[in-house]
Amino acid sequence: MVNQELLSVIDQLHREKGIPQETLIEALQSAILTAAKKRYGGGDNFQVEIDPRTGEIQVLHLRRIVEHVVSPMEEVSLAEAKESDPEAEVGDEIGAYLEIDDFGRVAAQAAKQVIFQKVREAEWSVVAKEFGGRKGNVVAGVYIGQEKRNFIIDLGKTEAVLPFKEQIPRESFHRGDRVKALLLDIRTTTRGPQLILSRTHPDFLARLFEKEVPEISEGLIEIKGVVRDPGERAKVAVLSRDPNIDPVGSCVGVKGSRVQAIVREIHGEKIDIIDWSPDPGTFIARALSPAKVLRVATRDSEFDKVATVVVANQQLSLSIGRRGQNVRLAAKLTGWKIDIFSEQQYEADRQARAGGDGAEEEHSDAAPLLLGIEDLPGMGGNVADALKAAGYDTVEKIAEANIDDIAILPRLGPKTAAKLVETARDFLGYPKPAGVSSEEPAP
């Protein structure tokens, strides 16, 4: 039988699913073989041949020649065999082609199920080969539609699902839009393999930074942690493996070019890039960015890890963030429970606890946070080296230094020294000293 429609279906599956034509033809042969056995009974004495050029299908029924027939579907008498082949002998096999159009509805349904099963197996093999090693990486596809609240993304050789819970809130796409997402999982379903995508997972943001910042992909900068409120705010902690590379500056890029490219991809989600520190107090203070922290005290016990943070009165709302978002993300990033107080609140609380016998609770006083001079806005590398060599290795030491002592250091002068002290005091919220010039920008 010639079946051009069959060849068209095979070619279409080959092009759309990436399944080899040979695999599809083998699946069809297996299906027809199953149908023949259901229709005629018998065992393994059927052979199916399909011409890949014409689509012609032939089913050969083989029977063994015997003297006395016991199983008519597997044996044929010598006399009957000689009618079609005069040279037939006992022990030989003789075949006859069957009319496959008459297999019956049940047999055809069985054949259809086998075809579907083989196609699913072949499709799974293609998907596993193409995407099996890409789990946890970013893939790109085209938005082709929506099923219930799930987005369907065409990845070329297969389709993927971007579930509603893995979508950035309020984002939408139009048919044909290019979509990037994290390949979260590959699942086996009754309909074949299903690829699950995510645009809300923290690793999606991490992979975007790896692609956008060469220093990360080269191993010069390490991403130490990522936390997100998808669509609203994210915090990314980074560490430089090279002392000559500024991890935050590298991730931000010239005029913010690198981070802005990532922000556009995640539809305007704000990103705080934080210089990771092994010191919990310093790391917690940086994690509360953009708020400026005055003091941090940490208590690390076998039961909990609690940090008490003090900020300037006008910085309290900023440090907590809208609906507590900033402190919640900072706590998640650092792994510490963070209690934030304004200076006024902290002083009132300390006095209340000191009330009666004048003794405060153990660990109640928040220690000053010693910030490295790299945290000072506008600090240049050469100036920083000169300051460190003279022992001014924290913002606090600069804020409390004598201007004349700093002015005599290499690459510095009276105006730069005065501006350094002024910037450090402003950064820490100290009262502004009289007589400090603001004519020259910070180094």
The predicted-structure confidence for 338-352, as pLDDT tens digits, reads as follows 999 888 888 887 777
The predicted pLDDT at position 359 comes to 39
Q: What is the largest CA-CA distance in the chain?
A: 125
Average pLDDT, integer, range 172-182: 94
Q: Kindly state the average pLDDT of the residues 100-117.
A: 60
R_g of the chain, CA atoms, integer Å: 37
* Percent of the chain residues past pLDDT 70, beyond the cut: 82
Residue 46 clears pLDDT 60, i.e. is over it: yes
Query: Is pLDDT above 60 for 107?
Result: no
Torsions phi, psi of 288, nearest 5? -85, 5
Q: What is the pLDDT of residue 227?
A: 97
**Residue 101 has what pLDDT?**
62
Please give the Cα distance from 313 to 317 (Å, whole number).
Answer: 9
Q: Is 173 exposed, middle or buried (0-12, 13-18, 19+ CB in 10 A)?
A: middle
Residue with tokens 């020294």: 417
The pLDDT score that the predictor gives to residue 243 is 87
CA proximity to 115, closest of 2, 16, 19: 19
Please report the pLDDT score of residue 365 as a whole number: 47
* For residue 79, pLDDT beyond 80: yes
Query: CB 239: neighbour CB atoms within 10 A?
Result: 15
Residue 113 has pLDDT above 80, yes or no: no
DSSP conformation class of 135: T
Residue written as token pair 């600090």: 379
Compute the Cα dihedral for 430, 435, 439, 443 and give only its sign.
negative
The pLDDT value recorded for residue 206 is: 96
Complete domains list, the chain, with CATH: 4-128 (3.30.1480.10), 135-200 (2.40.50.140), 211-268 (3.30.300.20), 277-369 (3.30.300.20), 373-428 (1.10.150.20)
3-state helix, strand, coil in the chain (%, to 5): 40, 25, 35
> Could you tell me the strand order of the sheet in which 293-300 lies?
293-300, 305-311, 337-342
Q: Which residue in the block uniquely carries the two structure tokens 């060469």?
A: 214
Residue 272 has a pLDDT of 95
Q: What is the per-residue pLDDT across 220-267, written as a single tens digit (0 to 9) for each?
A: 999 999 999 999 999 999 999 998 999 999 999 999 999 999 999 999
Residue type, 146: Q
Q: Tell me what pLDDT residue 102 has.
A: 58
Per-residue confidence (pLDDT) for residue 249, from 0 to 100: 93
What residues does 310 pair with on adjacent strands? 295, 341
Question: Looking at per-residue confidence, does 212 or 21 come out higher?
Answer: 212
Whether the per-residue pLDDT at 54 is higher than 60: the answer is yes
323 vs 180, more confident: 180
Q: Is the pLDDT reported for residue 111 higher than 70?
A: no
Q: b/e map of 24-46 (b: 16 or more CB within 10 Å)?
A: bbebbbbbbbbbbbbbeebeebb
What kind and span of H or E run contains 302?
none
Question: What is the pLDDT, as a whole number, of residue 214?
Answer: 95
Q: Give me 368's structure tokens.
A: 């000053």
Q: What is the pLDDT of residue 118?
A: 67
pLDDT, position 357: 46
Q: Is the pLDDT of residue 116 over 80?
A: no
Report how far residue 315's alpha carbon sits from residue 285's, in angstroms, rounded to the nearest whole number: 13
Q: Strand 233-240 and strand 270-275: pairing?
A: parallel
Q: What are 393-423's pLDDT values in tens digits? A: 777 788 888 888 888 888 788 888 888 888 8
Residue 265 corresponds to which amino acid? E
> What is the overall mean pLDDT for the chain?
81
> How many angstroms separate the CA atoms of 397 and 413, rounded?
18
Per DSSP, helices labelled H in 151-295 are 202-212, 214-217, 247-252, 257-265, 280-287
What was the pLDDT predicted at 436?
A: 39
